[in-house]
Copies of this chain bind each other. A is one copy, B any other.
Amino acid sequence: MTRAVILRIGHRPERDQRVTTHVGLAARALGAEGMYLAEVDKGVVQSINDVVTRWGGTFFCRDGVKWRHCINGWKEKGGTVVHLTMYGLNIPDVIDEIRQKDNVLVIVGAEKVPAEIFGLADYNVSVSSQPHSEISSLAVFLDHLFSGTELTARYPEAKIRIIPSNAGKKTEEV
């Protein structure tokens, strides 16, 4: 089973706090193990940790990570680096190959990404070759990587769970 960890780069504290928190929560809900944030932002870390405490699982969020060090360390250990960019190879053409890898670092950039990232990545991958959002790109990428199996995962040590319903909000305290 492939492991995926996110590396969020280009995050601007304050301005990007909400979007980066969404990136982290989407990563968690769609099967990633954790997120490295290449910037110091305790607000993002706190928001994500609060969700983990309440909703369970072992997703981690670490800020203040140096991106070049993170990428090179990942590669030195034999891991695969995927950079999500609208300029990359379209996901249907590469996902089968990436799914064979054991450890995937998924780089999710904000608006400006250093050109160096394209060269450091093993795969530059696009979701549709159209402009949209790093959140939607990451979501589709992870869902394809895990073939939808992540959608029914159980989260150990949750304090609350949703009872799926067509009629309203039903939850159970665990």
Q: Which residues of A come within 8 Å of B, CB atoms?
A: 18-19, 22, 25-26, 28-30, 51, 55, 86-93, 115, 118-119, 123-124, 126-133, 135-140, 143-144, 148, 150-153, 155, 161-162, 164-171
By the criterion CB–CB under 8 Å, are B26 and A136 in contact? Answer: yes
**Across-interface contacts of A28 in B (CB, < 8 A):** 130, 132
Tell me what chain A mostly uses at the interface: helix, strand, loop, or mixed.
mixed
- Take A140-B140, A164-B93 as given contacts and tell me if A132 and B22 are in contact as well, using a CB distance cutoff of 8 Å: yes
User: Whole-angstrom distance from the CB of A91 to the nearest CB of chain B?
Assistant: 6
By the criterion CB–CB under 8 Å, are A91 and B151 in contact? Answer: yes
Q: How far is the CA of A128 from the CA of B135 in the complex (A)?
A: 15
By the criterion CB–CB under 8 Å, are A88 and B165 in contact? Answer: yes
Which one of A131, A161, A164 has the highest number of Cβ atoms from chain B below 10 Å of its Cβ?
A164
Partner of A22, one of B135, B162, B166: B135
